[in-house]
Amino acid sequence: MAARLTVLSPLGNPPRVSAKSLAPRPSTIEGKTVYLVDVRFDNSGVFMEQLQGWFAEHMPKVKTELVHWKEPFVHDPDLAEEIREKADAAVFGVGL
């Protein structure tokens, strides 16, 4: 007699996903403030420092603020609010 097997699909039941539009892009960042956010992913801080140096050399009219999440991989509501209030744009260093 053959053994009976039960096979389960690893796909499961994914939640419904609804599309969201991207944030509007500024026409220029000249004279604007760009926050460079290290979310503490491996080496993102080093990359953000290099990016800040690139801006200083190639786009000196762009003000950059290098900031760091309090905890790795955890949303930082205080810093998020600061970015909303003070930044014209933000780059998040989330790694590979």
* pLDDT per position as a tens digit, 35-53: 999 988 888 889 999 999 9
**96 pLDDT above the threshold of 70:** no
**95 pLDDT above the threshold of 70:** no
Residue-averaged pLDDT of the chain: 90
Least confident of 12-21, 54-63, 74-83: 12-21
Q: What is the CA radius of gyration of the chain?
A: 21
Per DSSP, the three-state class of 67 is: strand
| Band of residue 94 on the pLDDT scale cut at 50, 70, 90 | confident
What is the share, in percent, of the chain residues with pLDDT greater than 90? 60
CA 62 vs CA 14, 40, 58, 78: distances in Å: 42, 24, 9, 24
- Give the per-residue pLDDT at 73: 78
39 Cβ neighbours under 8 A, 6+ residues apart? 69, 72, 73, 92, 93, 94
